[in-house]
Structure 1
Amino acid sequence: MNITEWFNLLSEQFKGTSALEWIAVLTGIAEVLLAKKNKVLLYPVGIISILTSSYLLIETKLYAETALNTYYLVMSVYGWAMWETRNNAGASKITKSNQKEFIVTLAIAIFGWGFLYLVLKKFTDSDVPIMDAFVSSTAWAGMWLLAKRKLENWIWLNISNLVAIPLLFHKHLAMFALLTVFLFVIAIFGYIDWQKIIKQNKTDENNLGVAT
């Protein structure tokens, strides 16, 4: 499919986009922007995006990504509770993953990929089980880190996005593919912003130590 055909496809999808699809897209954008700004509101907005997009994914046979949305829903509730608890306790700082957390994250990605691939291969009619499973398992890892306010969540989410973009284009989901491109770019800036926050927190702690 050449550029002109993709443009025509995008134009047709844009014109035929339902209210439910617009809600999914716009809340997805709002969620990542709120995450970039380290705002707990990302979770209720994200839940709306999850619920509205699940139906669309089932229709295109992206079953692993549908299962991913179920995981997102659980992790959104968990993350929301974690962030609120830490905010109330005054311990809401962004931090980097330690060695144990890195190993857990890697295990989620690798074993999740294998598990999802086997499920898709044996129990569904998915025609892209390897890529679909990979997108979902790496996003699982990223969401786990996001709930713990770990800097590396942006890396794992972008690994997922990088594979999801061509997958969505392959499925002719042009609107969702462009949304994922946007999320990929925002995640880069999210990583940079969170890194600045970590450095600022360290500076503040050092200044406090000197003052005392």
Structure 2
Amino acid sequence: MPEFFSAPAFALWGSPVSWLELLAAVLALAMVGCNMREIHWGWPLAIISSLLYVAVFAQARIYGDASLQVFFAIVAFWGWSQWLRGHRADGSALRVSRLSPRGTALALAACALAWPAVALFLRRFTDTDVPWWDGFSTGLSLVGQFLLGRKFIENWLVWLAVNVVSVGLFIHKGLWLTVGLYAVFAVLSVAGFLAWRTRMHDGAARA
């Protein structure tokens, strides 16, 4: 990696913020803005931002989140194709919708299983000092990414939980720009839920 990206751009509360972290944060904010408006260009932004965050998180020894960013970059290609050409099971166009009761139960079960599974893996195979917090954000993000790709409104609630926990995790790691970014993400998760709910109701009214 070029030394420029590792060099500090500025400092927050005594901790240096690299150009790499700054660029990743800007792209991530743009990505969420696109997602809120159902603009498919958010997915390529997600790919680039995720790859940048692999390096940021690996340097901070947050290996679950670093690995998650690789997963995000790969899955973003799937999400992009879903938003461009995806359909529901009945053949209708992919639009914002709610999970069925069965889908909600499956999503909750996936969250409940993914958290300890990822945490135990991290504790066993890495030197992370926060396996359970890292495992929470990583495990639930897997579920949130799938729900986002399929335009289920509940994805924003999953991201809200992930973002709130991630704020505490990044405070612990001293990644202050990313702390601010994920605090903004938490607010945008609520805004995204409200925006998608409005779109869903408007779509139902036009139907």
TM-score exceeds 0.5: yes
Higher relative contact order (CA 8 A, sep 6+): 1
Q: Out of 169, 187, 190, which is 1:185 matched to? A: 187
Q: Which runs of 4+ in 1 moved over 4 A?
A: none
1:202 deviates by: 0.9
In the other structure, the counterpart of 2:146 is 144
Deviation at 1:130, TM superposition (A): 0.7
SS in 2 for 1:125: coil
Range 155-164 or range 101-110, more displaced: 101-110
Question: What residue number does 1:163 align with?
Answer: 165
Q: How many residues align?
A: 195
Q: For residues 131 and 17 of structure 1, what CA distance do their matches in structure 2 show?
A: 22
- Decide which structure has greater helix share: 1
Deviation at 1:12, TM superposition (A): 4.3
Question: Gaps (5+ residues) in structure 2?
Answer: 1-9
Contact residue 20 and residue 56 of structure 2 kept, 8 A: no
Q: Deviations over 1:45-64 (max 9, x none)?
A: 11110011101101111111
Q: Secondary structure, in 3 states, of the residue corresponding to 1:138?
A: helix
Conserved? CA contact 1:135–1:163, under 8 Å: yes
Instruction: Give the structure with the larger strand fraction.
Output: 2
Question: Once the two structures are aligned, what percentage of the paired residues are identical?
Answer: 24
Q: Which residue of 2 aligns with 1:95?
A: 97
2:76 is the counterpart of 1:76? yes
TM-score where L is the length of structure 2: 0.88
**2:178 corresponds to 1:176:** yes
User: CA separation in 1, counterparts of 2:131 and 2:18?
Assistant: 27
**Distance between the aligned counterparts of 1:117 and 1:18, measured in 2?**
28
What is the match of residue 31 of structure 2? 31
Aligned partners of 1:23 and 1:82: how far apart in 2? 27
Mapped partners of 1:204, 1:59: distance in 2: 50
Please tell me the residue identity of whatever aligns with 2:128: S
Structure 1, 142-151 or 65-74: larger mean CA deviation: 65-74
Query: Which residue of 1 is the match for residue 66 of structure 2?
Result: 66
- Residues 108, 140 of structure 1: 8 Å contact kept: no
TM-score, normalised to structure 1's length? Answer: 0.86
